Amino acid sequence: MTIMKRREALTLTSLVIGGTVIGSQMWLSGCSPIKKKTDLLSDDDILLLDEVGEIILPKTDRSPGAKDARIGEFMKTIITDCYDETEQMTFMDGIEKIVGLSKKKFSRPFLKLSGDEKFQLIAELDIEAKQFKNENNSNPHYFTLMKQLTIWGYFSSEPGATQALKYNPVPGRYEGCVPYDTGDKAWA
């Protein structure tokens, strides 16, 4: 029977422990991280999404608009980090369709349209998206994705939650029945 010296034991232990930390990806090939595309949306796409969002949730005297919530950046994050490849392609194709529709209908890019022209185009897309849904399509319409992301991003942003909704930064006890008057803001 041989007795292992302390130095040899430490060397073997460090090799075993070091191998589990340093070389773990070699052994866990099925758990390799998913590579995400980070360049899905350009700066021009983000500007376009800000404008689309502003038509959906415009700035008013009582609350900020979607541009104030930087909705284009929010959409970029969600599309890149959360959408699968099919949803990403639907969304990206939608941006191209908006650009093409704007040039076809008004002979100008979407960002160069007047407020009324942008509203008209977005209203038509909203009707198209509702008809698309009514035809029992399993995949969502690209404008439905844009509209949902605009609403979600706006009301979860600081300007949306603190200025468009009633906001209580330090809530007290729970009250299940709070009086609500017509025209009051909803609670954040």
Q: Give the pair of three-digit tokens for residue 61.
A: 């005297």
Summarised one tens digit per residue, pLDDT across range 115-166 is 999 999 999 999 999 988 877 777 889 999 999 999 999 999 988 888 888 7
Residues 121, 113: Cα–Cα separation, whole Å: 10
Per-residue pLDDT for 100 more than 80?
yes
Q: Answer yes or no: are the C-beta atoms of 165 and 187 closer than 8 Å.
A: yes
Measured between alpha carbons, how far is residue 153 from residues 12, 61, 157 in Å? 52, 20, 6
Question: What's the pLDDT band for 47 if we cut at 50, 70, 90?
Answer: very high
Global pTM value:
0.70
